[in-house]
Amino acid sequence: NGTRDELVEAVHQQLRDKRFNHCLRVEQTAIQLAEENGVDLEKASIAGLVHDYAKERSDEAFIGMIKKHQMDPDLLNWGNAVWHGIVGAEFIHDELGIDDEDILNAVRYHTTGAVEMSPLAQVVYMADYIEPERNFDGVDEARQITHKDLRAGVAFQTKHTMLYLAEKNAPIYPATLLTFNRWVAQKQ
Ligand code: DGI
Ligand code: FE
Ligand code: FE
Ligand code: FE
């Protein structure tokens, strides 16, 4: 698959080996979750591969992109953790020529989640969280829940990310809070 080989090369060029290898593992986990949930395997592969494509860009590069695309000015109050998905999708669009909105949204939402997440976006959000070399407390429970019920996995990650951020007095990005309210606080 020539398309994939070129993409792998483009991603590798942007990332240190450690993060590049994480992207390969997220790709494989995303493909597995896609198989389990009837999601397009090629989209899962592409989105998994590129999800952290922009993570090693400078703050200046992200700020330039936020301005170039006239994105929400509140983004300027945040940093790499929030930018590399939401703003990173614009680098992926502009530099890799990926224009599938489902793939781009999966990248946009992979860190914070979103109120509305397509099955592909859920797959990438969870693959990033449970790829085989993740080893935080609760990761085995996260894997078990996610393979049983993808949406329950999304709720699990969202809750635990909120707890993790609160524990270290980190600011909660508004989309993260909205994701919590939708996916954890009130299921109706
Ligand atoms: O890029 P990865 O490390 O593979 O994983 P990721 O994109 O899911 O990033 C996880 C990091 O993002 C983790 O350190 C927590 C942080 N994060 C997620 N939501 C928020 C956040 N940080 C802040 N300050 N606020 C958030 O709402
Ligand atoms: Fe990431
Ligand atoms: Fe993540
Ligand atoms: Fe990642």
Instruction: Give the E-state strand segments of the chain in sequence order.
Output: none
CA of 158 to the centre of ligand 3 (A): 10
Count of domains for the chain = 1
Which ligand is located closest to the Cα atom of residue 81? 1
What pLDDT does 3 receive?
Answer: 87
- Residue 9 pLDDT grade (very low, low, confident, very high; cuts 50, 70, 90): very high
CATH classification at residue 74: 1.10.3210.10
Contact yes or no for 50/7 (Cβ under 8 A): yes
Atom of ligand 1 at shortest range from CA of 172: 27
- Residue 2 pLDDT grade (very low, low, confident, very high; cuts 50, 70, 90): low
CA of 149 to the centre of ligand 4 (A): 21
Whole-number Å distance between alpha carbons of 130 and 143:
6
Which among 146, 114, 152 is positioned nearest to 130, based on CA atoms? Answer: 146
CA of 6 to the centre of ligand 3 (A): 24
Q: What is the ipTM of this complex?
A: 0.96
What pLDDT does 188 receive?
Answer: 53
- Please write the tens of the pLDDT for every residue from 101-152: 999 999 999 999 999 999 999 999 999 999 999 999 999 999 999 999 999 9
Cα–Cα separations (whole angstroms), residue 85 to 28, 46, 138: 19, 14, 24
Report which residue type is found at 30: A
Domain that holds residue 22: 2-185
Cα–Cα separations (whole angstroms), residue 83 to 28, 53, 171: 24, 11, 14
What pLDDT does 75 receive?
Answer: 98
Whole-number Å distance between alpha carbons of 157 and 129:
7
Atom of ligand 1 at shortest range from CA of 173: 27
Cα–Cα separations (whole angstroms), residue 96 to 89, 90, 99, 106, 119: 10, 10, 9, 15, 23
Residues bordering ligand 2, an ion, CB closer than 5 Å: 52
Whole-number Å distance between alpha carbons of 10 and 46:
12
Whole-number Å distance between alpha carbons of 15 and 10:
9
